[in-house]
Amino acid sequence: GRLIPHGTQGGQSRIDLSDEQVGNVKAIIAATKKSGMDERAAVVAIATALQESKLENLGHLGERNDHDSQGLFQQRPSSGWGTV
**Contact (CB, 8 A) for 75 and 81:** yes
The per-residue pLDDT for range 37-55, each reduced to its tens digit, is: 999 999 999 999 999 889 9
pTM: 0.72
Query: E strands, 6-46, where?
Result: none
Taking 80 as the threshold, does the pLDDT of residue 20 lie above it? yes
60 pLDDT above the threshold of 70? no
Per-residue pLDDT at 21 exceeds 90: yes
pLDDT bucket at 17, cuts 50 / 70 / 90: very high
**Domain range summary for the chain, segments of one domain joined by +:** 19-79
